[in-house]
Structure 1
Amino acid sequence: MRRTLCLAAAVVAVAGLTSGVAAAQVAKTPKALVIGLDGARFDKLLAADTPNVHALVQRGYAARSALYGSGMAQTSSGPGWSTILTGVWPDKHKVKDNSFNGNNLAANPSWLARAETANPALDTYAAVDWKPIGDQILRTGQDRKFVLDGDTAGYVKTDEQVAADAEKHLKQDKADASFVYFGQTDEAGHAHGADSPEYSASLRTDDALIGRLLAAIDARAGRANEDWLVMISTDHGHTAAGGHGGDSPEERMTFVIAAGGAVPPGTPAVQPKIVDIAPTVLRHLGIAAPAGYDGYPLGAVPPDAFDSAVLKPRQDETGVPAGILGWTHDGPGGWTVRNASGMPSGTTEWQGWAFTTDDFWTRTAPGQQREANVRARGVFAVADPDEWDDKGSPSSKGTFDSSLVSPAIDVAGAARADIAFVSHYRQDGTQRGALTVSFDGGAEQSVLAYGPESGTVNKGGDVLATPTSASVAVPAGARSMRVTWRLYAAGNNWYWAIDAPHVTTR
């Protein structure tokens, strides 16, 4: 018998769209439309005069999200749309920039292709005017594909043509699963910047195009018997002056807006990821998501022990805006931080393991691959001697040595305990990491070792955004187990971040 002990416990109606939370009296036919707005920043989209978007937000689900950074891929269109359409991060689909060189898209097809393969009777469709989407990401897997070249003809013209074709399709065809892309906002961002009136005007045009698509859905002859899921997202953001590809919060800014189906309404407590779009669409269509997906259907992310941590504003990290709550050493639900006696004092936020968020941690030192910690969500735990050493150079006086200790986990009657977590580890110098367990308050037992040698679990190098697991034997008669993550022998080195820890006994 297997027991999964989550360490959290141990411790629209727009144009007729509904929120999807009430059970229908009669089963309706599921339909899905995903709309892509290239280069649309979430904050600017909500600040603009965009009534159709606002209606979806108010009656459905909406949240900002964040991309990877240069440690994994550029914040550009190739990786962004590949991630949205495949449901996996760039370390799997291998699209790192707009060249698509060395991609692994054949092994990671789009959600349209997966839907078509699972149920060939579905009517699948895509309309895009950035040609590489049609040529590279959506090479196959659609019953019909409408592709234009906005780079050559101009996106204002081709977006209108895309909208006209999509309107006809959504009104007249079966239209079971559709993806529609508009590119002119990215062009406005490059030409004028995200703070410009031209960028805002482009978002208003996008909103009008969205309104036309929603009206086409509402004009369908069988609309009353259909359950429509509508989602909107983007591939990347833009700087105030214009441009993207880097690691700033503005360039990494994406979002997920959704209404219909089983999507929970409101703003979620934990931000979604753009990899959640693909499994959400497949769930709505009644198709099982593949085991290799990095995302979860909206509303179905497993609970995480760390997300209940109460976070504080900056103290020593003055480069982080004062209004961002993003760190604490106070563990939630029985989690504790234990620093070695005599560990020198450094930057307050990183004086040992800390609970933090992407928005806070990545702002402390952009461009050092903290942004690539994409498989962590909400609050996660970090030991960061690199930032610890930034105040008073404590590494000149001693080493960083801190342990993160789990609550006691019931293992009575079990033969083995399987430990799983997401690990984001960068190796440097003499720094070492250790995963250990202890039973009933006994001695620590080594499970995994990280360090500079090739024989360690990290093989002497970095292991970024990696689901990690280990199995340990439970001694006969043992009743409880604690798990410890320790980072030690570190000076001005790198960091270790973990998230979503859970234990399964058997």
Structure 2
Amino acid sequence: MSNKVILVIMDGAGYEASVSQCGYLEGAVELGQAKRWKMITATPSLSGPMYETIHTGLWPHEHGIVSNEGMRLSSSPNIFSLARAAGKTTAAVAQSYYHALYVNQPWDRLRSVEHHDADTDIQHARFYSMEGYGATNAMAPAEIDLCAQMTILAEAHDPDYLLLHTCAADTLGHTFGGDSAEYRWQVWMIDNALSRAIPTWRELGYEIIVTADHGMNAERHHGGMEKIMREVPFYYFGDATDLPSDGTELTQLGIASTVLGRMGVAPATGMRPALF
């Protein structure tokens, strides 16, 4: 078995916000075109640690990245490195934290946003920096523009693993809170863009997973143990048949082995078991 996989990480989009606002994704579930489960994140429920957990199948205390202030090159086997070692092609449209984690090169603010290097774990990428984002400037790339860049990379390089990481819901959550109209609207904006992109990506031969790194509370925060911080959605569009039962709570630590398994790549020792 060897499938191509797209992983979409809706940064900061918690479970309840996604189920209530993502009409396209939920409609696909109702029609049987996709499956959806609740997923529980590792902790601390912060972006950088969760990016690495999603890609390594390890708890932050194991892979060592436990804070956004501790970002560095990944030192653990991960989806990108294992896929590349197996002769697969990798690509990403993602915020610059992913450059720090999976591209063994200095970040050049004027050049690194466009990346092509077969010798790095992420081989093809469009990175964005969000430099200076805050209440006066959200610095949020349009969701449909991110999906367009994904499609360009998919058609130009035919990667076996392609990551989309969108940060806008997290940005609006930090700015207005996880119980705000602005946050909920942005979660819907992701869904609205995916409604136009997912059919195209499926036609290009991809299985698609849509999830989040963490949620967001009303106080504009995440990182702790609250359910609203740790409960996220996990949607699957694909042909796998041995799926978890409806209502099963999944662990975020199973994503790495699942993605690798769908590509026909063996997971690393220490990675948590695949979800299916």
In the alignment, structure 1 residue 135 sits paired with structure 2 residue 100 = yes
Give deviations 1:145-190, integer Å, cap 9, x for gaps.
Answer: 2111124474433645432211212344323211111010001111
Larger helix proportion of the pair = 2
Name 1:371's counterpart in structure 2: none
1:99 aligned counterpart, secondary structure: helix
The alpha-carbon distance between structure 1 residues 292 and 266, as it changes in their structure 2 partners (threshold 3 A), is: closer
Runs of 5+ unmatched residues, structure 2 = 105-119
Taking the aligned partners of 2:227 and 2:247, their CA distance within structure 1 comes to: 19
Query: Any conservation in 2 of the 1:35–1:233 contact (CA below 8 Å)?
Result: yes
Give the CA deviation at 1:199.
1.2
What percentage of residue pairs aligned between the two structures are identical?
21
- How many residues are treated as equivalent by the alignment? 256
1:34 aligned counterpart, secondary structure: strand
Query: Any conservation in 1 of the 2:50–2:213 contact (CA below 8 Å)?
Result: yes
Name 1:271's counterpart in structure 2: 249
Taking the aligned partners of 1:187 and 1:247, their CA distance within structure 2 comes to: 20
Query: Any conservation in 1 of the 2:40–2:230 contact (CA below 8 Å)?
Result: yes
Query: Any conservation in 1 of the 2:38–2:248 contact (CA below 8 Å)?
Result: no
Taking the aligned partners of 2:245 and 2:186, their CA distance within structure 1 comes to: 25
For 1:167, the aligned partner's letter is T
Name 1:125's counterpart in structure 2: 91
1:40 aligned counterpart, secondary structure: coil
Residue 230 (structure 1) aligned to one of 187, 208, 211: 208
Q: Output aligned runs, 1:172-321, within 5 Å.
A: 172-220=156-204, 226=205, 228-262=206-240, 264=242, 267-293=245-271, 295-299=272-276
For 2:212, the aligned partner's letter is T
For 1:262, the aligned partner's letter is A
Q: Output aligned runs, 1:2-13, within 5 Å.
A: none
Give deviations 1:308-331, integer Å, cap 9, x for gaps.
Answer: xxxxxxxxxxxxxxxxxxxxxxxx
1:44 aligned counterpart, secondary structure: helix
Q: Output aligned runs, 1:22-421, within 5 Å.
A: 30-56=3-29, 58-69=32-43, 74-100=44-70, 105-106=74-75, 108-118=76-86, 120=87, 122-129=88-95, 131-139=96-104, 140-152=120-132, 154-157=138-141, 159-220=143-204, 226=205, 228-262=206-240, 264=242, 267-293=245-271, 295-299=272-276
1:125 aligned counterpart, secondary structure: strand
CA RMSD of aligned residues (A): 2.4
The alpha-carbon distance between structure 1 residues 64 and 182, as it changes in their structure 2 partners (threshold 3 A), is: same
Give the CA deviation at 1:138.
4.9
Q: Output aligned runs, 1:453-492, within 5 Å.
A: none
Query: Any conservation in 1 of the 2:15–2:228 contact (CA below 8 Å)?
Result: no
1:283 aligned counterpart, secondary structure: helix
**Greater gyration radius:** 1
The alpha-carbon distance between structure 1 residues 269 and 50, as it changes in their structure 2 partners (threshold 3 A), is: closer
| TM superposition score normalised by structure 1 | 0.47
| TM superposition score normalised by structure 2 | 0.83
The alpha-carbon distance between structure 1 residues 250 and 49, as it changes in their structure 2 partners (threshold 3 A), is: closer
2:141 aligned counterpart, secondary structure: helix
Query: Any conservation in 1 of the 2:40–2:251 contact (CA below 8 Å)?
Result: yes
For 2:130, the aligned partner's letter is G
Give the CA deviation at 1:51.
1.1
Give deviations 1:188-242, integer Å, cap 9, x for gaps.
Answer: 111112221111110111012222331332454xxxxx4x321111111111232
Name 1:428's counterpart in structure 2: none
Taking the aligned partners of 1:172 and 1:105, their CA distance within structure 2 comes to: 27
Per chain length, whose mean CA-contact separation is higher, i.e. which structure has more relative contact order (CA < 8 Å, sep 6+)? Answer: 2
Larger strand proportion of the pair = 1
Query: Any conservation in 1 of the 2:77–2:268 contact (CA below 8 Å)?
Result: no
